[in-house]
Chains A and B, each alone.
Chain A
């Protein structure tokens, strides 16, 4: 089976600055891919590539075996950390927007029976994200969590091939965040979604994802910090079911990517995560020492420092 989305030897450079290098990635349909990495490791750049907001400097991106145009399109939905919903539209109008754009090219508004059908679809979607009773509110009247629910409903109504989440729960309270995790998992199962999520929260990455990707630099030239970009250093498949029964098992399947760089070239090896096999037995997704910390927004930098 060929992958839904494939990145082949992708590089992203801004002028002299190399952001991403040698990215090779295949994403199967139905996967929930979490991407983690220190700040500035190109997580968001990778997401922007898939979104089509920017094109790769080198390499190819294929969606359903067709080259992906460097343009945003309705086959890829997105939820950002903030500003994902339209301030001037009510909850219902926000959700209708995608349908109206598709069905009324000229005025982007629907009337009569077509509108009633669209409203029905939108209401179903809003029920699914738990906003069924809030159709007439404006975003400014809602909490951050409700706004993110709306942003998800708004994206899902287009039935995108891939849903991209850019630190979607980063600005939410811990309690709300847990609710949103349940919601995301439920929607992912019910709608058979393929999700790529960028996050700073390691626990979130492991609880939600079926596969966790870690981006970091493998080579650093101290005299030219921008000379080398980040690449995939870990690609950890998690079997969700197995992980639930036996925490820790999933991680052991993890493979350290052969990054192609000689080991002694890694001048910041002290910063790289210790090899998983060293303490894989107690460092599972649900059983990490960090779980004892109440702060559930541990950044990868903290793990590095261990």
Chain B
């Protein structure tokens, strides 16, 4: 049988997917074990026991200085920034993207501006954001928004522009005004695409969040990683990275499930 045509079934696919992950973990354990056998105080590849010990303090014990559970306050602060950034970007994409897509005049006027903003590397703007907004939360959220909103706006606008001309004409012949067209034809059809764009933007959004936190912050997942780097504390960095990966994957899955549930029509082959 040709490899291309081979289908293993959902369950086996899951098992197959787990194999390389488990193999990587095993490889790490072997390497860490070897290093620790030579030097029990090795900091570069800590064993799981060391990680659990280090994380225990952060997760379950109050910090002596601030009195917070550092792990949770880091998580909460980062998720808040990320959530705000994603929410603002989504609203921008919906509002601006829809208008750009539906109205040729607005597309002609602002299309080039959006494209120009989109090609600027957002990190290059970070100093400006710090100068304008100060070192507080606003600058960090603004960096996420500037980083992902232009992409999302352009994606939604392109999607709406590509709606079949026939649909627009049909809606007109059914008596739809421009507002009704926007509300009942363009907006609902933009929604699944919006979630898709949001999922694709999650990766960059995390990059901008961690960068902003690394440069100027006093709490947050990115801040903590860059702080403990000074002490080569791989026993904190590695669990933190795994935690970030888990958070990102969970958000992604939630978005995908909500899209399938809310916009059944957009997932034609699956219902």
Contacts and interface: CB of A to CB of B under 8 A. Distances in A.
Interface of A: 51, 53, 71-74, 76-78, 80, 82-89, 97-98, 100-102, 105-109, 138-141, 151, 154-155, 158, 160
Contacts, number: 90
A2 B180 CA distance: 35
Given A84-B166, A138-B265, A108 B180 contact: yes
Given A101-B175, A154-B174, 9 more contacts: A73-B173, A74-B174, A77-B173, A82-B164, A86-B189, A89-B188, A107-B183, A140-B265, A151-B170
Best-buried of B166, B173, B177, B265 by chain A (most CB within 10 Å): B173
A80 B173 contact: no
Interface string B159-191: 000001111011111111101100111001100
Contacts of B170: 78, 80, 83-86, 151, 154-155
20 contacts: A71-B172, A72-B172, A72-B173, A76-B173, A78-B173, A80-B166, A83-B164, A83-B165, A83-B166, A83-B170, A84-B167, A88-B266, A97-B176, A101-B175, A101-B176, A101-B184, A108-B184, A139-B265, A158-B174, A158-B175
B189 A160 contact: no
B166 A108 contact: no
Contacts of B67: none
Contacts of B175: 73-74, 98, 101-102, 158
Contacts of B180: 101, 105, 108
A87 B265 contact: yes
B166 A74 contact: no
A97 B173 contact: no
A85 B263 CA distance: 17
B56 to A, nearest CB: 50
Top-5 shortest CB links A-B: A83-B164, A72-B172, A140-B268, A74-B175, A98-B174
Contacts of A89: 188, 265
B229 interface: no
Contacts of B164: 82-83
A74 B177 contact: no
Nearest to A77: B173
Interface in B223-270: 263-266, 268
Nearest to A72: B172
Contacts of A155: 170, 173-174
A101 B173 CA distance: 11
B184 A97 contact: yes
B189 A101 contact: no
Q: Which label, helix, strand, loop or mixed, suits the secondary structure of the A interface?
A: loop
A84 B175 CA distance: 15
B169 A86 contact: no
A139 B107 CA distance: 30
Nearest to A76: B173
Contact of A101 (B169, B174, B268): B174
Contact of A83 (B167, B183, B266): B167
Nearest to B267: A140
Contacts of A109: 184
Contacts of B166: 80, 82-84
Contact of B167 (A71, A86, A138): A86
B187 to A, nearest CB: 10
B169 A108 contact: no
Given A155-B174, A158-B175, A51 B169 contact: yes
A84 B271 CA distance: 22
B97 to A, nearest CB: 17
A160 B173 contact: yes
A141 B185 CA distance: 19
Contacts of B174: 74, 77, 97-98, 101, 154-155, 158
A14 to B, nearest CB: 16
B169 A78 contact: yes
A102 B175 CA distance: 6
B173 A51 contact: yes
B259 to A, nearest CB: 13
Contacts of A97: 171, 174, 176, 184
A84 to B, nearest CB: 6
A74 B268 contact: no
A36 B189 CA distance: 35
Nearest to A78: B173
